[in-house]
Amino acid sequence: MQFVRYLQCVHCGGIYLPDVVDYYCPKCGYQHGILDVIYDYDAVEAHLNPQSLAADPVRTMWRYLPLLPVANPELIPHLQVGWTPLYNTPKLAEWLGVEQCWVKDEGRNPTASFKDRASAVGVVKALEKGATRITCASTGNAASSLAGFSSAAGLPASIFVPRRAPEAKVAQLLVFGAQVFSVGGTYDQAWELCMLASAEFGWYNRNCAINPYLIEGKKTVSLELAEQFYELTPGKFPDWVVVSVGDGCTIGGVWKGLKEMHRLGFIPRLPKVLGVQAEGCQPFLTAWLNHQPLQPCDADTLADSIAVGHPRNFHKGMQAVVESGGAFVAVPDEAILEAMTTLARKAAVFGEPAGVTGAAGVKAAVQSGIIDPAESVAIIVTGNGLKDIASAIKAAGAPTLIEPDLEAVRKAL
């Protein structure tokens, strides 16, 4: 917390000290009173700049410690999170119809999703508060990620998942030893139940939409993007940063990180942010197109990680697109499945449905004229394809069954 100045409510502008408030603005409540962590950037700059980073051997998200709300770095668990690969993918760029395309593979994190960046911060904050148990509700990835990091931190976890969460993700939670509640209801119901249980039993609440610190972990993907491009193509940065959108926290974190690295001189010009939703669940797109407030909706998409009909961080999600001059788009499930095989075949990155939704969104945005073919894009692939094998099989088809005989091979060719 060396450089944290205060927490500020995105709704009423109220300012709070971290010692006083844990989660959300007490005046505005958790539906609106999301807090933002405000740093002393002048002080940060002295400790986080191209020279300091070049000299830093740490190759995890913790190399950005001056921009993270951690008071006691000794509590950081051992799992190595962040510093994921960034790939230049010309074949994918050609397929998408853009000048240049970069893929950041967040499936390479410890529990195979982007959410590890948030959970890493979450368990440290819980330990700092002296919590004896941590909880969250999740469509899957935040949960498996919290399970992994609470195991690493030696902190028990109780996790609420909707009944539709894929088996693989639930298995991950259980293997890591978390107490898992499979809630007979939607993600939104699991989320509300987790809020109640956290208050009732005093569990530290890792839910990203109401805990101001989690998004600070998420923003590190942009800190890395900025540094990686600063090294690769100094003075240049992609025109668009692309990510799929569920709760709004991820895209909010992405935008915050970009702004911070712009402020620190790593990014010459802020990019536009493209938020991609599934057609079966597009509350951000609807609100953005109609200049309306959020209308919660049903969620019907195979991209379970973004099947969020009632986004809990509408403010920060909308802000990312509006402030950056970007856009929301939505894509059908078929386009998501097509992106799954295309990303694997043209960029050799195997992402889960919500992980590749960003790529499908770029294709749609190029076709509708939102992205110009002369522009460049950086796509954040948020989770590993092994997380959702059922969808992978849907996308990829079946193997050729043969008997152990050369003639059978010849016939099949």
Residues 11-70 that bind a second copy (CB under 8 A): 59
Contact mark string toward a second copy, 318..347, x via CB under 8 A: ----------------------xx--xxx-
CB of 368 to a second copy, least distance (A): 27
Asked if residue 87 binds a second copy (CB under 8 A), the reply is: yes
Give the burial class of 301: count Cβ atoms within 10 A of its Cβ; 0-12 exposed, 13-18 middle, 19 or more buried.
buried
Contacts of 218 (CB under 8 A, 6+ apart): 114, 117, 118, 208, 249, 250, 252, 253, 254, 257
Nearer to a second copy, 71 or 174 (CB): 174
- Give the shortest CB-207-to-a second copy separation in angstroms: 15
Binding residues for a second copy restricted to 376-395, rule: CB under 8 A: 384-387, 389, 392-393, 395
Dihedral over Cα of 324, 325, 330, 331: its sign: negative
Residue 167 found at the interface with a second copy (CB under 8 A): yes
DSSP string, 162-185: ETTS-HHHHHHHHHTT-EEEEESS
Smallest distance, a second copy to C-beta of residue 80, A = 4
* Burial of 188: CB neighbours in 10 Å, binned 0-12, 13-18, 19+: middle
When binding is defined by CB under 8 A, the residue of 13, 200, 269, 290 that contacts a second copy is 200
How far apart are alpha carbons 117 and 312 in whole angstroms? 19
Closest approach of a second copy to the CB of residue 391, in Å: 9
In 3D, which of 287, 272, 298, 296 has the Cα closest to residue 361? Answer: 272
Residue 271, token pair as written in the block: 């990019």
In this chain, which of 183, 223, 303, 320 binds a second copy, going by CB under 8 A?
183
Nearest-angstrom CA–CA distance, 320 and 340: 25
- Residue from 21, 37, 79, 261 in contact with a second copy (CB under 8 A): 79
Binding residue (CB under 8 A) for a second copy from 9, 48, 76, 112: 112
Phi, psi of 209 (to 5 degrees): -75, -25
Count of residues that interact with a second copy, criterion CB under 8 A: 77
For 198, residues 6+ apart whose C-beta sits below 8 A from its C-beta are 135, 204, 205, 207
Q: Choose, by CB under 8 A, the member of 168, 294, 297, 322 that binds a second copy.
A: 168
Q: Considering beta carbons, is residue 46 or 408 the nearer one to a second copy?
A: 408
Contact (CB, 8 A) for 92 and 359: yes
When asked if residue 149 is in the footprint of a second copy (CB under 8 A), the reply is yes
Interface stretch with a second copy, choices 104-112, 251-259, 323-331, 374-382 (CB under 8 A)? 104-112
Q: According to the binding rule CB under 8 A, does residue 397 interact with a second copy?
A: yes
Nearer to a second copy by Cβ, of 182 and 286: the residue is: 182
In residues, how long is the chain?
413
